[in-house]
């Protein structure tokens, strides 16, 4: 009998994953991950740790998705990048 576990599934290690997003800020990666997962795209968040004395300014977080979800994920991320950030005066609704 197959399992019907409804907990949030993640991409399996043997699946082909592609990097769809990277940033130095973990908070931004978490926001993008939430957008993708709310659209039904499973993600894997990976931290990139490098020695800052040797490679200053490198490091951050990457988001991986299944290869077949990459095109849809790219569209969602592009839409996110085009939208004004919260707190931007131009994003306020005047009334």
| Confidence class for position 86, pLDDT limits 50, 70, 90 | low
Distances (CA, A) of 9 to 4, 69, 84, 91: 11, 14, 31, 34
Examine residue 87 and state whether it is found in any structural domain, yes or no.
no
Domain of 27 in residue numbering reads as 17-81
Q: Total structural domains in the chain?
A: 1
Whole-angstrom distance, CA of residue 31 vs CA of residue 74: 15
Write the CATH number for 77. 3.30.70.1530
Q: Nearest to residue 66, comparing CAs of 7, 8, 11, 9?
A: 11
Residue 46 counted as domain residue: yes
Render pLDDT for 34-59 as a digit per residue (tens, 0 to 9). Answer: 999 999 999 999 888 765 555 556 66
Q: Is the model more confident about 49 or about 85?
A: 49
> Using CA atoms, how far apart are residues 11 and 9, in angstroms rounded to an integer?
7
């Amino acid at each position: 009998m197959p399992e019907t576990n409804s907990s949030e599934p993640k991409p399996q290690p043997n699946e082909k994953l592609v990097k769809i997003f990277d940033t130095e800020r973990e908070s931004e990666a978490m926001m993008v991950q939430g957008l993708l997962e709310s659209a039904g795209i499973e993600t894997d968040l990976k931290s990139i740790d490098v020695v800052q004395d040797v490679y200053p300014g490198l490091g951050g977080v990457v988001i991986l998705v299944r290869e077949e979800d990459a095109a849809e994920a790219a569209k969602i991320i592009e839409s996110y990048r085009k939208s004004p950030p919260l707190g931007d005066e131009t994003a306020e609704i005047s009334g």
